[in-house]
Chain A
């Protein structure tokens, strides 16, 4: 293994650690939300510092690899992709932190009907699944799995699209739970953005492995 290979392997291990950390933040955020576990929510808020610290470490390591090794071809695309994936993951970390903050700040347990009509659990599970797929695709250089993430994002967009009318109806029926409903709609918006970040991540994975730029193409074209 050359010196550069050793450094790239180390960088890969670090970004996989970032994937694990951010996935764990999302999962704990979900558990805190559905079990109304404020202690777990505070743990997520606390761990956000670790996500930020790891982001800075990976940024610095990318900078050093550019400066010291002048990577080219697939090595260059790998480091460029890691730099951007790192930023996407940090944003997902912020989202998990934000969702946990709603749980920590809400006084009463979320209404079961509210959670059910908004299909929040389905949406949250799909967001986590997209993250997992992206991680495995990156680890095993599997662009087929990466492309599958685009399709899964349709489910998130669909639930997000229906959210306004569903929540308006809920608020009319339960005006005393308006604040809760607003927290839930914000959570739905955040999860929708998680899906977008996961799509950005798999675009970078495909760029690194196949040298294809998929940004700004239609979903159908991205899946080809």
Chain B
């Protein structure tokens, strides 16, 4: 079964038709990159998967969004938002740690879910920080404020925070665009490592990044999915001229 799937998905912001009949499937343990010029709908599409568009006024969603075969927007499928967000973690463009200690940032998701057993929480925090390739850098200062970390470390902390609740899907919205090249390389290597355990969808404006980290790439333009294929095909021999013009920097 596909991990995640959308069928004939339409999204309107009021009169604006932001996503036009998107059909896509996401295999488990793969990285999919969503690329396209600003306003093409790729971030809107990403945010569907943890229902972050619900709070925007006048949003209308039609079609199906299936997680492990269940429609996450259908009440009858019985998926509550808090349950959904345990399965779908998200990392944003700018690191957004909470004004708490490094430890408590990672433990936060567990605590709000009522998990307080100290041994369990400590173990999960350590595992998550290790998976996020941050443990060695912070293990001696877990009680210090998260704001003392560098931007790149803060972003890896946010990834650790997302991992702590053991989601199966991680959504990343330009996770390295505010970082320097070294921190970016660390995040990219991390994405490559994490796909052995998670299904990852990443929005990026950086075409080279899409090439380096993803197995499949989807090109969006004006709310439509123009092309979706394996990343080597998209970057060496795309089918559509619009995709070629975009990845070669000729428009967009």
Residues of A within 8 Å of B185, CB to CB, are 2
Q: Is A64 an interface residue (CB 8 A)?
A: yes
> Which listed segment binds B: A24-32, A65-73, A144-152?
A65-73
Q: Is A109 an interface residue (CB 8 A)?
A: no
Instruction: Tell me the bound Cα distance from A87 to B232 in angstroms.
Output: 22
Q: B189 to A2, Cβ gap below 8 A? A: yes
Q: List 26 A-B contacts (CB under 8 A).
A: A2-B185, A2-B189, A2-B192, A3-B188, A3-B189, A3-B192, A3-B212, A3-B213, A4-B212, A63-B236, A64-B232, A64-B235, A67-B211, A67-B232, A67-B235, A67-B236, A68-B211, A68-B212, A68-B231, A68-B232, A68-B235, A69-B208, A69-B211, A69-B212, A70-B208, A70-B211
Q: Mark B38-82, 1 if CB is under 8 A from A, else 0.
A: 000000000000000000000000000000000000000000000
**A: contact size bracket:** under 10
Q: Which A residues, 33 to 73, have Cβ-Cβ distances below 8 Å to chain B?
A: 63-64, 67-70
Residues of B within 8 Å of A70, CB to CB, are 208, 211
Instruction: Tell me the bound Cα distance from A114 to B12 in angstroms.
Output: 85
Inter-chain contact count A-B, CB under 8 Å?
27
- Measured between C-beta atoms, what is the minimum distance from A67 to chain B in Å? 4
Secondary structure of the A contact surface, majority rule: helix
Residues of A within 8 Å of B208, CB to CB, are 69-70
Residues of A within 8 Å of B211, CB to CB, are 67-70
Instruction: Tell me the bound Cα distance from A3 to B188 in angstroms.
Output: 9
Q: Which of A4, A67, A68 has the most CB of B within 10 A?
A: A68
Q: Which residue of the partner chain B has the closest CB to A66? A: B236
- Measured between C-beta atoms, what is the minimum distance from B156 to chain A in Å? 16
Q: Which residue of the partner chain B has the closest CB to A64? A: B232
Residues of A within 8 Å of B192, CB to CB, are 2-3
Beyond A2-B189, A3-B212, A67-B236, list 8 extra A-B contacts (CB 8 Å).
Answer: A2-B185, A3-B192, A3-B213, A4-B212, A64-B236, A68-B211, A69-B208, A69-B211
Residues of B within 8 Å of A3, CB to CB, are 188-189, 192, 212-213
- Measured between C-beta atoms, what is the minimum distance from B185 to chain A in Å? 7
- Measured between C-beta atoms, what is the minimum distance from B159 to chain A in Å? 17
